């Protein structure tokens, strides 16, 4: 399927452009997780949108400290609603044009997330993340409305490998 390769390439280019910008913006803190959300059910028609979530050690600690209850560290590590939110990042403009105006406009969300996973896998193989971050970070997708927990976990492991995904997998009940 030609459109999958093209979409994967566009997402890969967007991440190569956008992640250094995230590092510049949040680099004073220790970034631990970046999560990508794709959506085409915004209530404003069926146009796709992208949101990027960024979590840091410092943000997680602040959020946990503000929690009156017994704070679950895994919830605050991996739940996107507790992260910094970057709506409609500029780096996804070409990807959005392709999805919203091209022949891929009817693409199912699981296929879009599959292309995101493919792009992340390719960037991991190319050691892109190693060139940007001083330590391993988890790249996730906010796809719980599209996938069941088991499918979502498989995608996370595919994008990050078993070792890097271990905390996510073992504590998924806290945030999925």
Domain segments of the chain as ranges? 2-24+31-174
pTM of the model: 0.91
Exposure pattern of 39-52 as b/e (b: 16+ CB <10 Å)?
A: bbeeeeeeebbbbb
Helix 162-170 vs helix 149-160: angle between axes, to the nearest 10 degrees?
150
- pLDDT tens string, the chain, 176 residues long: the values are 578 899 999 999 999 999 999 999 998 999 999 999 998 765 445 688 899 999 999 999 999 988 877 789 999 999 999 999 998 889 999 998 888 886 666 678 899 999 999 999 999 999 999 999 999 999 999 988 889 999 999 999 999 999 999 999 999 998 88
């Amino acid at each position: 399927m030609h459109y999958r390769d093209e979409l994967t390439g566009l997402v890969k280019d967007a991440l190569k452009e956008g992640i250094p910008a995230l590092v510049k913006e949040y680099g004073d803190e220790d970034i631990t997780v970046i999560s990508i959300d794709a959506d085409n059910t915004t209530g404003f028609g069926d146009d796709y949108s992208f949101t990027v979530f960024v979590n840091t050690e410092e943000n997680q600690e602040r959020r946990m400290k503000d929690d009156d209850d017994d704070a679950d560290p895994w919830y605050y590590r991996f739940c996107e609603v507790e992260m910094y939110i970057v709506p409609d990042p500029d780096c996804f403009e070409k990807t959005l044009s392709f999805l919203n105006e091209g022949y891929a406009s009817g693409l199912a969300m699981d296929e879009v997330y599959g292309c995101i996973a493919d792009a992340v896998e390719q960037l991991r193989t190319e050691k892109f993340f190693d060139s940007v971050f001083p330590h391993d970070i988890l790249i996730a997708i906010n796809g719980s409305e599209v996938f069941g927990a088991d499918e979502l976990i498989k995608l996370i492991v595919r994008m990050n490998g078993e070792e890097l995904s271990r905390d996510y997998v073992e504590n998924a009940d806290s945030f999925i």
